[in-house]
Each structure stands twice: as structure tokens, then as C-alpha cells.
Structure 1
């Protein structure tokens, strides 16, 4: 509030109320002579409903300007973007004073400022109650907190039991962040434990950011009201402006209410921060526990792989031993193959013995001769041998081509 000296013109002996595009102007006449003026201008940030279903609260602001003639006790008002409640309240007060036909000297403009402030701060309590409820129930849509203790028909929560209808299960969605943060386990070994996700911390962060911003607006509101009341008391005691103890008491009660709102917002912020730290710690510990379980699983898989590799090594060693034994048998069979072949040929009908007659009295001699059909054996055996060699070569080449692809 500041005092200036200027000259004015015009003479309006009555109070005029004019509403233009949600701007309220309250004007009073000024004398022709040199006049001492007192000016006050401030910006109020207040909370109001926006009509939305998800986030029904919005932080808004309105500007108030008053120019007061200390000599003639006339004032000029400018309100920028006032709320509808503030406009209605001002209309009521001004109409009441105009109806009582009071003089300008009896008009306490500070009471109008007090009415604007009290009306603008009226919804802070409802807003903080909603935020407190939101802090308790923003995880209420998470059905993982439901604790089913009896499959025959009971659903138990923290301290509530509701009978379940066999055809229509009704879930009690009343849980709070404290319960989720205080009763969640780290290792998640319980079957019906609370589900904590990163989205919970994001919701808390958004709530904490909004509370912090609005608490700053509340503190600004509190500072304006406190300085306004202090200056009003000084000017009233010095009899510079008309005033009343009732208005000063209303301002004091209004300031006390704002102080309570600030303390409530600070308490909610501390609660948000505490719950956020606890949930973050639980998430971190659960993550570490999950990493430990993964490491244990990987170690178990490594041990199983090591056992399998050892078994494969033993199998390969046994196969190598068997291969050496088979190779030895093959070499041995190859060594005896010519002799066996000759024995088979000579024992067959392909080779026959023929007796040589002589005129001497000595015994007759015999010698081996090929059978007349011996050529059939040679003609059939050679093509079969050649076919076998070609078949082995073709199969080996096909295996090598497949392995290359």
C-alpha cells in the first residue's frame, strides 16, 4: 500500500457497480482539488474447481487494485479475472451497503478486501482433503493388494472382512499408500503380497509436485494476507482510514486458517516424500533380490552345463576308446581278408582238382584248375565292386557338401 498525491476531476456522489466481461469495477467520485491517494495492488493465487472428473482442481489467480482517496474517502477498484464467488460476494456486500443508504465515510473498503481473500481461500480446505484422500487411495485400483484368506467366501483387507457372493465378487477397494508401503515384503514370497511398480512412484511424484506448487501459492496468499492485516492495523490505529476491530479479527482468523492449510500441505508433502522413499527402497531391494535370484539361477544353469559337458567329455572319451578298438579290429580283419578270400575261393566250386593219369606204377597226381564257369564270377564281382566304390565316394561328397552349406 502506498500513498501518492495527484489531482482529480469529476464529481460522483454515489457508488457505482459495473460488470464488464467478468471484470468488476467499483468507482467513486473524486474532488476537483488536490487529493491524497492510497493505492493497493496484489495478485491472489487460489484454488478452484475446473469441472473435470480426473483432476478437478486448478490453480488460478486474480488481480486486485484499489485507489483510495484519503480526504474524500472515495475509492476506485479494478479486479482482473475474479472468481464467480468473489464477484457474487462483492455484489452482496455493495448492495447491502447501498440499501442501508450509508455515507461514503461508513464504507470500509478493507472489509471488501477481506471478503475477497476469505472467499478466494474458501476451497483450500476441500482441495487439501481431496489430496489427502488421493494420497491414501491412489493405488486403490491395484487389485494385487486383495488378500484372499478363505476360498469358501471371505475377502480380508487390512482390517475389513466382506462376504463374497459366489456369483458376484465385490472387491473392497479401500487401501492406502501407507499400507502398501508398510506391509509389502522385500522378497515377495507371500502369495497375496502388494504389487509395487514404478508407476506408483510416478504417481507420488506428480502428487508431490502439485502439492509443492500449490503450497507455494498458499504461502504467497498467507504473506499477502499477513502484510495486508499488518498495514491495515497500522492505518486503523493512526486513524488514516476508517476501520473496525471486527474486520481485523476476521483477517486474523483468515490468516490462522491459511497457516493451518500451509501446515497441512507441508504434512502431506512430508508424507509423500516418506512414502516415496520407502517405496523406492522396496523397489530397489526387490530389484537386488531379483538380480540375486537371477545370479543363483545362472549359477545353477552353469553347474548343470558343467555336468553335461563332463558327461559329454566322458562319452567322447568312451567313443574314442571304442573307435580305437574298432580300428584295431578292422586292421586285424583286413590282415586276414586275403587269406580268407583265398580260402573261400579254394573251398568253393570255382576251383576244382584234376587228376593227371600216368603210365608209371607211381600214384597219380592232381592239380587245381578253374571251373569252366569261373569267368561268370569275375564278370559279376568287378562291376559290383566298382559300384560299391562309386556309391561310397558319392555319399561322402554329399555329406561334405551338406556340412559346408
Structure 2
């Protein structure tokens, strides 16, 4: 406010909330516009500069100026009429916005109050760190709304003081009505401020409760993981003991196998020596077998010694083969064939069975 002898100046920057109608993301937006008024005390004319006024504000301002023009001179508009339009714009959508903030907070509040802490059922609320982040975004909106409301309080108080000065200077014809409307606007803002303060306090409690739920679940999950690790360590210890027992068993088995292999080596060496002896016996038998066979043959009745001359024994003897000698030959051939063929027949049967 700058007050000169013949000119009153008054300016402020208004912030307010409106639905953006985008259909995606946050449905509410924070908007603002600037107001400057220069009032000439001599002719009661006002010069206005309004920055970034929306179409809605321009329409409301036009309608108000047409309906509240001064009765004595229609070309003159009371200097408080635009301020009343602007102040009514400030308090217009705060009720809907507080309901929106409250509905958004209730989503997190239900999760915080009704989520199962110990075990999650299939129909239970899911609580994650994302909820804490989204709640923090909502709290920032609430803080911003509180800041905007505090600024609006200052603007309304400034308008009340400006209106009182105009009344004292006899520059407004609707002073009492303007004061009443500004007081009503101020009380409405107070109601919205108390409601948003309540939402802010509830959001702080909800944020603490969500953080405690996540912390409790994290500690519970950590305990579960530690218990699982402990069980796995116990299993590993048992497995280690089993492996040690198995290693001892394998070492004993390996030692026994080594001893058996040593014994088998000794047996093989002894068998080799025995086979050498048997081979010698076989060679001796092979050498003496023909001689013994011939001796046995000549000692049998198959070969007989007869005198050359029966009447004269002094003439010597000669060897005579018995007429049954062929039986010996046939029996020997049959025995040799059977002895040779029998192992071959057995081998052929085993091969056919396999």
C-alpha cells in the first residue's frame, strides 16, 4: 500500500486452486494472478492492472461491475467491487480441494490402520516404500496449500484495511457491505485452514505408522532370513560331518582294497611260480608220455612177441600186432574228437544264450 495525498495504490498477488480438467495426473492445479489498483481521490477513478486473469475471473468481474455500478454515475464503478470479486475467487474451490486431499489421505490411512503386520493375507492391503513416497508427495501438496492459505489471509486482511481507509476517505459507497463480505471470506478461509491443518496432522501420523509397519516387516524378514541362514549352516555342519564319516569309510575301504590288491599280487606271483612248476611237470610229462604210451602199448596184448620159428626158438622172436588193434585206434580217435569238440560245443551254447 502506498498512500499519497491524492492517490491510493494497492496491489497483491493471488494464488488459488482450480480443477485443470486434464483427465490424467493430478486433477488440481495451483494458479495465480496479479492485481494493481491506483485510485484517484479527486475524481474517484481507478486504474486497474490485472495480470494472468483467467476467463472465469474476467467473466465474474464483468458481471459484478455491471450489477454494482454506482447509481449516480454508471461510468464510475465502486473501487471495492473488483476486490470483492477477487476475494470470492480465492475462497471458491477450497472446500472441494480439501475434500480431495482428505480422500487421497484416506487411501494411505486405510493401509496404515488395517494392514496385517505379521502375515499378509490374499485380501490384505499391500504396503510398500512406494506408499511412503506417494504420501510424501501428498504432504508436500498439503504444505503448499497451507502456505497459499496463509498468503490469502494476508491478502484478505490487506483488503480489509484498504476498505477501511476508503470508508474513512468516503471513497466507497459499499463500505459496510464490502467489510461484511471480506469478513465472511476470511472466516471461510479460516475453516479451510483448520481442515487442512487437521489433514496435515493426520498425514504425519499415517506416515509414521506406515514407516513403522515397513520397519517391522523388514525386521521380521531379516529375522526370517537369519533363521534360514542358521538352518542352512546347521545343515552344512551335518553334511560336513557326514562327508567326514564318508571320507573315513572311503579311506578304510581304500586301505582294504590296497591290502587285497597286495594279497592278490602275492597270490598272482605265487601262481606264476606254481605255473612255472606245472609247466615243467607238463614238459616232463610231454617228454615221457610217448615213451610211456609205447611201453604201455608193447606191454599190452595188442602187441605180442612171437618166435620166428615155432620149432626152432633159437632163431629169435618178432613183434606181432593183435587183430583187435583197430579197436584201440578207433577208441583213441573217438576220444580225441569228443575231447576236442566238447569245449567248442559248450562255448557255442553260451554265445547263443548271451
State the partner residue of 2:296: none
Cα deviation for residue 91 of structure 1 reads: 0.8
Root-mean-square deviation (Å): 2.5
Instruction: Say if 1:37 and 1:70, in contact at 8 Å, map to a contact too.
Output: yes
Verify: 1:334 aligned to 2:268, yes or no: no
Which of 14, 18, 25 is matched with 1:44 structurally? 14
Which of 218, 222, 229 is matched with 2:149 structurally? 218
State the partner residue of 2:130: 199
Cα deviation for residue 207 of structure 1 reads: 1.2
Q: Deviations over 1:241-269 (max 9, x none)?
A: 54432211110010011111112222222
Instruction: Say if 1:196 and 1:283, in contact at 8 Å, map to a contact too.
Output: yes
State the partner residue of 1:129: 99
Q: Partner of 1:53: helix, strand, or coil?
A: coil
Cα deviation for residue 119 of structure 1 reads: 2.1
Bigger Rg over Cα: 2
State the partner residue of 1:300: 231
Higher strand share: 1
Verify: 1:84 aligned to 2:55, yes or no: yes
Verify: 1:93 aligned to 2:64, yes or no: yes
Structure-1 separation of matches of 2:101 and 2:141: 10
My pick for the range that moved more, 341-350 or 111-120, is: 341-350
Higher helix share: 2
**Which consecutive residues of structure 2, in runs of 5 or more, have no partner in the other structure?**
292-354
Verify: 1:113 aligned to 2:90, yes or no: no
Structure-1 separation of matches of 2:284 and 2:141: 116
Instruction: Say if 1:85 and 1:119, in contact at 8 Å, map to a contact too.
Output: no
State the partner residue of 1:383: none
Which of 5, 28, 39 is matched with 1:68 structurally? 39
My pick for the range that moved more, 85-94 or 246-255, is: 85-94
Cα deviation for residue 106 of structure 1 reads: 7.9
Instruction: Say if 1:73 and 1:105, in contact at 8 Å, map to a contact too.
Output: no
1:145-294 to 2 correspondences below 5 Å: 176-188=107-119, 190-237=121-168, 239=170, 241-294=172-225
Structure-2 separation of matches of 1:79 and 1:192: 54
Cα deviation for residue 307 of structure 1 reads: 0.8
Cα deviation for residue 196 of structure 1 reads: 0.7
Verify: 1:309 aligned to 2:253, yes or no: no
Structure-2 separation of matches of 1:351 and 1:220: 131
Instruction: Say if 2:65 and 2:81, in contact at 8 Å, map to a contact too.
Output: no
Cα deviation for residue 234 of structure 1 reads: 4.6
Change (3 A) 1:177 1:50: same
Which of 318, 334, 337 is matched with 2:249 structurally? 318
Q: Deviations over 1:281-319 (max 9, x none)?
A: 111111111111111111111111111111111000011
Cα deviation for residue 199 of structure 1 reads: 1.5
Change (3 A) 1:107 1:355: closer
Which of 352, 359, 363 is matched with 2:284 structurally? 352
Cα deviation for residue 238 of structure 1 reads: 5.8
Structure-2 separation of matches of 1:210 and 1:96: 37
State the partner residue of 1:26: none
Structure-2 separation of matches of 1:250 and 1:200: 42
Name the TM-score, length of structure 1 as normaliser: 0.65
Name the TM-score, length of structure 2 as normaliser: 0.74
Q: Partner of 1:352: helix, strand, or coil?
A: helix
Q: Deviations over 1:322-349 (max 9, x none)?
A: 1112212222232333222222343467
Q: Partner of 1:109: helix, strand, or coil?
A: coil
Q: Deviations over 1:204-243 (max 9, x none)?
A: 1111112211221121011110222134235424646544
**Which consecutive residues of structure 1, in runs of 5 or more, have no partner in the other structure?**
6-35, 137-175, 358-405
1:30-41 to 2 correspondences below 5 Å: 36-41=6-11
State the partner residue of 2:4: 4
